[in-house]
Amino acid sequence: MNAAVEVFRKDYRAPDYAVENVDLDFDVRDRTTVVSVLRIRRNGQARADAPLHLDGRGFELLELAIDGLAVAEANVERDDERLLIKQALPQAFSLRVVTRLDPDSNHSLEGLYRSGPMLCTQCEARGFSRITYFPDRPDVLSRFKVRIEADAQRYPVLLSNGNRVEAGEAADGRHYAIWEDPFLKPCYLFALVAGDLGCVSDTYTTASGREVALQFYVDKGNEGRVPHALESLKKAMRWDEQVYGLEYDLDIYMVVAAREFNMGAMENKGLNLFNARFVLASPDTATDADYEGIESVIAHEYFHNWTGNRVTCRDWFQLSLKEGLTVFRDQNFSADLNGADVQRIGEVRQLRTLQFAEDAGPMAHPVRPDSYVEINNFYTATVYEKGAEIVRMLQTLLGRETFIKGVQHYLREHDGSAATIEDFLAAHEAVSGRNLEGFRRWYSQAGTPTVGIDDEYHLLAHTYTLHLEQSTPATPGAPDKKPVPIPIRVAFFDGEGQRIHLPAQPPLMPAPDLILLEDAQATITFEDVKVRPTPSFLQGFSAPVRLQFGYSSDQLVNLLLHESDGFARWEAVQRLMLNAFFELLSGPAGDDTQALLKGLQLLAAQHFDDKALLAELLRMPSESYLAGQLQPLDGEKLAAARDALRLRIAHALTGPLSVWATAAPEDQGAINVGRRALAGIASGYLAATRSTRILDLCRDRAGSDNMTLSYGALVALNDIDCPQREDAMAAFLSRWRHDALVLDKWFALQAGSAIGNGVERTAELLGHPDYVASPNRIRSVLGTFWRENLRAYHRADGSGYRLLAEQVLKLDKSNPQIASRLADGLLGWRGLAAPRDELLRAVLQRLVQQVASPDVSEKIHKALA
């Protein structure tokens, strides 16, 4: 697999050397010269002759000296990625490294690179070693001091982690700043920014009364779009104090918005770097969903200050230690702020679409992986989202109070150090007195467990019995799976939707609303049950499993109308929609479609305060979700059946849909957010009927000053070939051509449209005069194309696969991380309907010969294996 090597978790060894202090001097000119002086000490357990391992790549080395003496070539072993110093080293010494970087030609967006008017850094996971030679591993924690010098006109803003301790003028119109971070940190949390940026500041007073300066740096002219992110930050700071008792620890918290960023954002200590799309928002440019995304990413990065920064990861196999836990924390924050039901539905939708697919494909890996070739390939839905689900189950098992104590205990025990998932679980065992032995398998075993349940009701004996079983499918390299402890929240209803209370049956049911399935099989019998219950299993999606139970349509409608758990209602309607979808896939509408339509009509007649929940209940499953349900996958057939389903629903619900489509207020506020969501869904259905009235309404609404309404109208029109769509799209493009974030939306709409030849159109978009190859734009076009436009991407002539593969190959050289994300679209050839499987495999076999990056190469090798 090229020069790349596979790294194994079992090979972990503590570092031989500690880096106590890091002194960095950045001299920013056409090129940037970095002088790094490290104070190094040999660790107790290391042999006296242990060589010093340093990582480094992609720069020019100008000097390498130990205690003031140049290191002789003969004492150095060096390849493209690292350098070994083999001379005899004293117990403590100083290492001086001088490197020269060319950030303007660094398109990988790792290390030091340019984004518009600034130079900035991205060091997780291994970007610091693109700046200087350093032991680039998270278990080396140091105190950093950073001096930055640059032209005062071109780079008036000079930032790094911690506190600014000095600043001043330098010769030739230059200036400098010195930053010191008092906290120990691994080098992946280092950050630097030099640029010409606008700043919005505020302050926050912590629970203990300390004042913290908050500063947001954005492209000049965008200052007016900062308030929402700023407010979100303050809410997150308060929430972490109130829920976990955790306060911010520095005197300043900075957020910088970059136009070009590979991921969402990065939690560098005291100096977060953000993809601009997760900072900037105003009602005319950002949708309600964008507002929520910003709130949650701002919170996520803030919460990392404790779960990630104060306590970091020992090695990258432990990535979920910080990511799973921090996602779980940001999910709870969003649920507390915006309502738990809708939040949970969104989480489950994402988990099922992305993580379940990953867990069933060639890249399946445990939440704590055993090996990797390229660590950047493991910032996955499994590590993040399934990791968060495991933390959620832990909370369910221990109870919220004990769980929070466990987190606090873990943070106290490991503050200022690098920890493991094992440490986290041990802390919970310590505070709860519970044994989590079986629970550990959730971290070590890949694959989505299936839970199958049968029930039996005895009319005469008045007994009700549940037979449960679980199994986890084989994943690559891991054929044998053991049972895992699965918490299944449960409620029972009678035929009229009234709750039936059945007693707990310990130990299988520790509480009346919880089944804990630990073994491969279990049986629970309830006595004295007067009527046949309708069970509601997995309320709140209490475990990341596939649940199989033979629900009748009547039972599903019953749950849809009467469950109080929002997730369970949504799950019921999802099942009804799936049944109808499968019916329409193979023939005309029948009983399943009728049952869905009847259920939706009854739902429409109910009173709903929570319009956002109603909107979620009505939303059709996405193409990419349906793709995960269909083997072998024929994307064209899938899209056609989904269109048919949409039209059926539109005709059955025309009355209420028309009312909801018209109630579309422009003002902010939670109630209106729900109304807008509902209006968007409703107009999407109605547009499918091609009624002139609704098409005109959408065209007009697309010009709204509220982006949620405008974008919702465009989405509704997007699959309908009509003049209203043409007009609305053209007007939108000319209005927003100069706003990169809004323009991303226009590109995504084009790439996702069902109209005409989607492959040709997507290829043309890549040559559009307004196209630029920024990560956000690439995702808008190519990400939308392969994930959400199945009829185009999966054309039977294979042209969709060839287009995506060409682009992967092109990006493989400049930005392997983005190339690798796109390559996800090429991995699932085994699940495709002929002739697509062979066409895609042929594309992969050609590609694997051509790619250079370990990122893409690792995935394609695994897909072909």
Q: Name residues contacting ligand 0A1, limited to 379-398 (CB under 6 A).
A: 379
Smaller CB separation from Zn ion, 326 or 534: 326
- Find the part of the chain contacting ligand 0A1 (CB under 6 A) among 119-127, 451-459, 501-509, 701-709: 119-127
How far apart (Å, rounded) are the C-alpha atoms in residues 237 and 223?
22
CB atoms within 10 A of CB 822: 21
For the record, the structure tokens of 686 come out as: 């109605």
Smaller CB separation from Zn ion, 382 or 853: 382
Contact 625, 353 (CB under 8 A): yes
Helical ranges in 186-305 per DSSP H: 227-244, 288-303
Classify burial at 622, counting beta carbons within 10 Å of its beta carbon; exposed 0-12, middle 13-18, buried 19 or more: middle
How far apart (Å, rounded) are the C-alpha atoms in residues 327 and 383?
10
| Cis peptide bond N-terminal to 138, omega within 30 | no
How far apart (Å, rounded) are the C-alpha atoms in residues 655 and 275?
42
Closest residue to ligand 0A1: CB criterion: 263
How far apart (Å, rounded) are the C-alpha atoms in residues 319 and 604?
44
Smaller CB separation from ligand 0A1, 266 or 826: 266
Question: Helices 635-652 & 566-586, crossing angle to 10 degrees?
Answer: 110
Contact 178, 164 (CB under 8 A): yes
DSSP state of 622: P
| 266 touching ligand 0A1, by CB under 6 A | yes
How far apart (Å, rounded) are the C-alpha atoms in residues 696 and 835?
41
Q: What angle do CA 794, 799, 804 make, to 5 degrees?
A: 80
For the record, the structure tokens of 788 come out as: 């959400």
Q: How far is the CB of 244 from ligand 0A1 (least distance, A)?
A: 18
Q: How far is the CB of 263 from Zn ion (least distance, A)?
A: 9
- Find the part of the chain contacting ligand 0A1 (CB under 6 A) among 117-125, 129-137, 543-551, 776-784: 117-125
How far apart (Å, rounded) are the C-alpha atoms in residues 12 and 46?
14
Contact 690, 650 (CB under 8 A): no
Bridge partners for 633 per DSSP: 832
- Find the part of the chain contacting ligand 0A1 (CB under 6 A) among 122-130, 355-363, 530-538, 754-762: 122-130
Tell me, by CB under 6 A, how many residues bind ligand 0A1.
15
Taking residues 291 to 320 in sequence order and writing x for each that binds ligand 0A1 by CB under 6 A, - otherwise, the string is: ---------xx-------------------
Q: Could you list the active site residues?
A: 301
Name which of Zn ion, ligand 0A1, none residue 791 binds, using a CB cut-off of 5 to 8 Å depending on partner kind: none
For the record, the structure tokens of 169 come out as: 């003028």
Contact 314, 420 (CB under 8 A): yes
Smaller CB separation from ligand 0A1, 131 or 759: 131
How far apart (Å, rounded) are the C-alpha atoms in residues 391 and 693?
49
Q: How far is the CB of 777 from ligand 0A1 (least distance, A)?
A: 18
Smaller CB separation from ligand 0A1, 390 or 529: 390
How far apart (Å, rounded) are the C-alpha atoms in residues 610 and 633?
36
Name which of ligand 0A1, Zn ion, none residue 754 binds, using a CB cut-off of 5 to 8 Å depending on partner kind: none
Q: How far is the CB of 785 from ligand 0A1 (least distance, A)?
A: 23
Q: How far is the CB of 692 from ligand 0A1 (least distance, A)?
A: 46
Residue from 117, 198, 264, 339 in contact with ligand 0A1 (CB under 6 A)? 264
| 262 touching ligand 0A1, by CB under 6 A | yes
| 373 touching ligand 0A1, by CB under 6 A | no
Q: How far is the CB of 377 from Zn ion (least distance, A)?
A: 16
Smaller CB separation from ligand 0A1, 300 or 862: 300
Give residues in contact with Zn ion (CB under 5 A): 323, 326
Q: How far is the CB of 72 from ligand 0A1 (least distance, A)?
A: 35
DSSP state of 447: S
Smaller CB separation from Zn ion, 323 or 565: 323
Q: Quick one: CA torsion of 182, 187, 189, 193, rounded to 10 degrees? A: 90
- C-alpha gyration radius of the chain: 28
| 263 touching ligand 0A1, by CB under 6 A | yes
| 124 touching ligand 0A1, by CB under 6 A | yes
| 265 touching ligand 0A1, by CB under 6 A | yes
Name which of ligand 0A1, Zn ion, none residue 233 binds, using a CB cut-off of 5 to 8 Å depending on partner kind: none
| 439 touching ligand 0A1, by CB under 6 A | no
Q: How far is the CB of 420 from ligand 0A1 (least distance, A)?
A: 18
| 323 touching ligand 0A1, by CB under 6 A | yes
How far apart (Å, rounded) are the C-alpha atoms in residues 235 and 222?
22
Q: How far is the CB of 726 from Zn ion (least distance, A)?
A: 41
Taking residues 812 to 851 in sequence order and writing x for each that binds ligand 0A1 by CB under 6 A, - otherwise, the string is: -----x----------------------------------
Q: Strands 163-170 and 157-160: what pairing?
A: unpaired
Bridge partners for 36 per DSSP: 24, 97
How far apart (Å, rounded) are the C-alpha atoms in residues 539 and 547?
11
How far apart (Å, rounded) are the C-alpha atoms in residues 590 and 594?
6
Helical ranges in 718-815 per DSSP H: 723-736, 740-752, 758-765, 775-778, 784-788, 790-793, 799-814
Q: How far is the CB of 203 from ligand 0A1 (least distance, A)?
A: 25
| 187 touching ligand 0A1, by CB under 6 A | no
Sign of CA dihedral 102, 103, 106, 111: positive
| 136 touching ligand 0A1, by CB under 6 A | no
Smaller CB separation from Zn ion, 316 or 736: 316
- Find the part of the chain contacting ligand 0A1 (CB under 6 A) among 42-50, 258-266, 500-508, 652-660: 258-266
How far apart (Å, rounded) are the C-alpha atoms in residues 385 and 367?
9
- Find the part of the chain contacting ligand 0A1 (CB under 6 A) among 23-31, 210-218, 260-268, 329-337: 260-268
| 681 touching ligand 0A1, by CB under 6 A | no
Name which of Zn ion, ligand 0A1, none residue 719 binds, using a CB cut-off of 5 to 8 Å depending on partner kind: none
Interface residues with ligand 0A1 (CB under 6 A)?
122, 124-125, 262-267, 300-301, 323, 376, 379, 817
